[in-house]
Structure 1
Amino acid sequence: MPKEKIDGIQLFCLMVLFMFGTAIFLDLGSGAKQDAWIVTILSPITGLLLFAVYYRLYKQYPSLPLTEYVKKILGKYLGSIISYLYIIYFIYIASRVLRDIEELLISSPYAKTSIITLGICMVFALIYAVNLGLEVFARAGVICFAIISVTLFLIIIFYVISDLIHAENLRPVLANGWKPIIKEIFPVNMTVPYGELVLFSMIFPLIKRETKIMKTGSMAIGFVGLYLTINTIVLICILGADLLDRSAFPALAAVGYIQIAGFIQRLDPLIILLIVFLGFIKVGVFFYSAVIGMNNLFKLKPNAFTSYSVGGIICLSSIIIAPSYQSHLDEGLKIVPYTLHIAFQLVIPILLFIVAVIRLKWKEHKI
């Protein structure tokens, strides 16, 4: 493992930006129609439960990342297979997020640019960032957190000033009962973005010992849950439940309505810039974790070859992952949560935790 360390503030900012990712601009919980805000306010509770499992595993193996302690728990051979699958999972999700960014860019400001060109440019920037190390990446994350938080707050203020908030769009509450809400929470809104925090099991050993990880993580999850709830309420009030459900990028649609004194308007480029920033950080953390996992699994010293190889795979995968953006969305919402997210974010960590506890009790009993 690298010797670099990050502190609690950097961890908080990195976790918040990671969870925001592209989720902050997508139609979270839109299947629950005008009750989507209930989905976003309840989902963090499930996220806290999952994070507690990841944290307890870390506490038992504080110096090891996920891809290493899984071998301690399950044995060398089975553990190595699971480690390899996690690396593939990290690369795959990084490719999906990169595809989201590419599709957004070619749909608006770069309509005449090929998707592969955008992907290559993004990946080269990511390779440079990953090679600088997590400590540099985390310091940049603190600056991005401050800029992005202020910008998002100002956008909500602009919505209010532009008189775009129509609270009647939130009614009727629970018109279809709790079933659509529960269906939206599990597994889609539980796994994205909260279950994706399993990735930080790769980063916990790089955090300074005095940092209270559980407290910091809980605050980050609470902060993200609160903002996503406010953001969802605002988008429903502006667009209405039907348009929110039909729009690929509802925040981009909503911000197009902002017009203040004929001066502040057409803020679409600002939203696109925020999405690129947040997507870059999310892909970067997945990228970095995949590189750490590869180096550990194959006993390699940190080197540029691994980062270039992983970067090339992410770039290529983002292009061939789906023939169109609609099929990409369908795969991400209807297939991936059930086939991959539940396994890697829920089932495997819980099984690892149970086996680790049993092994610990058995060891204490023998002593």
Structure 2
Amino acid sequence: MIDSVEQPARSAASDTVDVVRLCRQLAIRVCRGEDAVAIVSMLEEVARRWANHGVPLDRLQQVVHEGFRLGAERAAGLLAPTDGAAATAMMRRQLDALQSLHIGLTRAYTSQLPPPDQRAAAARRMAAVLLRGEPAGIPARHCGIEIAEKYHVVAVAVPAADGDSRAVPRIAAQCVESELAHRLGTNALSFLGAEGGTLLLPMDLIEDERLGDLIAELSQRAGTALVAVVLNAAVDDIPDVARQAHELLETAVQLRATPRLYRFDDVVLPFQLTRPGPGRDALRALLAPLDSRPELLQTLTRHLANDLNRQLTARQLCVHTNTIDYRLKRIGQLTGCDPADLTGLWRLRSALIVRRFTDDDDMLTAAAPRASGSRI
């Protein structure tokens, strides 16, 4: 039984434990109809502290849900097994409390985020000017930004948040822009929204070989894995090149590509394969004989994703390597493409790319889960 509310410790190491404990207390108090204002105030203070320390908001929400779940389970155990009306009323109170809590914590968290300064806003305006192909000389002089001759044009996708809220992706985009300005200065331009956008990085400001590490570092700072595609362009070609980069990025995202930086050679083949036409239709039909054999489709998907490592595929599927060999042989018999032959392997890999792009089949989704990504 909870007689008092404990003040959470100030150390970062204990914050997570404190949040779980407080949310557990909150869920139980809501069940009993008791006042929980003090608990909410403490949680809002944690949210502000986490924002100042750069901890992603989705991490806070995850911990809040875990603590609330524990409290809800504890509260449910206090009810009589047959008291359905009381259980329904308790669930409604808890859902209302959880909704109010998330609103309050989000407000507390975002209140600590630094407002966009004038230079950051100017850099964003310049990015919009270049992306529209408008003359940049006068706006650049007004903003104090130097326009480069050539740019790395990076199309970026920010993963969607669970549910309907766009709060987490918006904060992720803000973190990316802030970190980019900190690392490269305001001559590195960005135009990002909740779902992603475009980075315009002067080629004389950052070397090509450092771009992959930069995207990884921006992902870490934002607290979410970014998928990005880079193309290079002269300043006057930025609008056309940016459209091409985003078309390639859309293909990578729809194929559930592993979050990282992709270059033209990485995505051009999947992009061409997924364009409408008789070639795409023929490749899509190639795997039709496997529709009634989901274990074969799953084996093929894992085998290709694992760079043909039979032992690794066998471990992941919890079967013997002989079973993998049998399934691959059966795939060759049903499709007419031998996975052990280079030509057959190329056709099967291409057919899977088309399938991922064109199908919403639950069987294929299970065979190539989003979490593990796809080797484009």
**TM-score, length of structure 2 as denominator length:** 0.21
Structure with higher strand content: 2
Higher relative contact order (CA 8 A, sep 6+): 1
**TM-score, length of structure 1 as denominator length:** 0.21
